[in-house]
Amino acid sequence: MSRLIVILGVTGVQGSSVADTYLQSAGWKIRGVTRNPTSESAKDWAAKGIEIVKGDLDDVVSLKRAFVGADIIFGVTDFWTIFKDPESQRKKNPGQELVEYCYDVELQQGKNIADAAATVSGLCRYILSSMAHAGTSSNGKFAKLYHMDSKADAALYAQSLPALVGKFSQVQAPIYFQLPWQWGLPTTPKKVTDGTWRMAGIGPGDKGIPFGHVRKDLGPCVKAVAEAEANVNLFAVGQYVSWSDYLQIFCETQGLTYGGYDELSYDKFCELLPGGLGHEFAHNVLFALEFGYEGTDPAVVKPEKR
């Protein structure tokens, strides 16, 4: 008899990777959950044999319906979708920073997923895409790294639910290789007047940054965690690449001339990316360089422990 995996955000980068992996795995039925089942990407997944259902992370009832009969649930939330939503500016409290509001919303969504998963009889594993708790790992030095702590706090909440004891695990995704282009960050390589290409970013150019091809590699990591005992927290890093090497690889593969890397101050980065975006991205890198992107929890499974 086939088993059922329910994948939240099936049209997104992480959910798509998990869907691809289980499409290639015998004995599995796949149910993809999305806010818009009529989108072209949702239709594409349906054409591949995936059951597509509507679900809203802000609506626990819709999640409970989507999770019925699940053996495995893959949960993912997206801080940046909330950040980019024009309605978020209207909904946040007066005087509240947008990134703090996004923390509140994403944490509640994570709690909603856990609450719905806790109602599934026969559930074997609930796997959450999480991150390190920056505030805890840094002893308060990075106390307002909202897009990390929202996911980490959601994981702590799931661990606190009696119905999920012995059923919960986590996967931490690394920094996406395509992130600079995706957001138009200052770290996006640019051609300068002498014809060379340069990057400007946070942190020194010779320190390794944890990158990964999340669309390709996260799914197999989720499957490995699903097949392991519960309470796994896997850091699914691909490889560590410095900003200078990142630019060098880009130039070599595109036939361009390497110019070099320029380190920006935190204040300058925030000036270039206002509204809290520069703060989140800058502190993300600075936290990773000092404490490790996966944090200081000794229970996290890192590449050297595989």
CATH of the domain at 113: 3.40.50.720
Same domain, 96 and 230: yes
Same domain, 100 and 168: yes
pTM given for the model: 0.94
- Residue where the block lists tokens 């927290």: 233
166 has a pLDDT exceeding 60: yes
Same domain, 128 and 10: yes
Residue, of 94 and 306, whose pLDDT is higher: 94
> What domain range includes position 250?
179-206+241-272
Does a structural domain hold residue 267? yes
Same domain, 261 and 215: no
pLDDT of residue 183: 66
Residue 62 falls in which region: left (phi positive, over 0), alpha (psi -120 to 50) or beta: alpha
- Structural domains in the chain (count): 2
The Cα-based distances of 105 to 124, 140, 147, 286 in angstroms read 27, 22, 11, 25
- Residue where the block lists tokens 């990777």: 17
Same domain, 228 and 248: no
CA pseudo-torsion sign 23, 222, 128, 86:
negative
DSSP summary character for residue 121: T
Q: Taking the CB of residue 87, how many other CB atoms lie within 10 A of it?
A: 8
Question: Over the stretch 47-91, which tens digit does the pLDDT of each residue have?
Answer: 999 999 999 999 999 999 999 999 999 999 999 999 999 999 999
Task: Please say whether the beta carbons of 235 and 293 come within 8 A.
Answer: yes
306 has a pLDDT exceeding 60: no
Does a structural domain hold residue 232? yes
Same domain, 148 and 255: no
Instruction: At 79, give phi and psi (nearest 5°).
Output: -55, -40
The predicted model gives 236-254 an average pLDDT of: 94
pLDDT of residue 305: 42
Question: Over the stretch 189-241, which tens digit does the pLDDT of each residue have?
Answer: 999 999 999 999 999 999 999 999 999 999 999 999 999 999 999 999 989 99
- CA nearest to 269, candidates 199, 176, 166, 221: 199
Question: Over the stretch 122-153, which tens digit does the pLDDT of each residue have?
Answer: 999 999 999 999 999 999 999 999 999 999 99
